[in-house]
Amino acid sequence: MASPTRKSIAGAIKQAALGEEGLAPVTERVRVGEAGAHRPYRAATREGKKIISAPVDPAAHRQLKVLAAETGQKAEELIREALRDLFTKHGKPPIA
């Protein structure tokens, strides 16, 4: 057992799960797709969508957040607008 002064978070979680007797509780394994299986929450507005992620300069991130506050729009909406503009600029249908 780890000393009280040097305890990892994982160790603390494991110890809490083991309980007083040091035995882990018995649980049933749930197969993926099985009824009642835990699925992470996903907002209905994101159903069927794909996430786009890109590293940007902190100043650009801050400017996007400021613009969102100034316009009353979400940063996601502004990014979709920018994608539509980019697609149009390159002769593609603005589907974003």
Which pTM value belongs to this model? 0.55
Residue 57 confidence (pLDDT) above 60:
yes
Contact by Cβ (8 Å): 94, 87: yes
- Give the C-alpha separation, 67 to 31, whole Å: 45
Res. 43 pLDDT band, cuts 50 70 90: confident
Residue 29 confidence (pLDDT) above 70:
no
**Given CA atoms 38, 45, 74, 85 in this order, what sign does their dihedral have?**
positive
Measured CA to CA in angstroms, residue 25 lies from 1, 7, 36, 38 at distances of: 19, 22, 20, 18
Helix ranges, the chain (H): 9-18, 58-71, 75-89
Average pLDDT score over residue span 83-87: 96
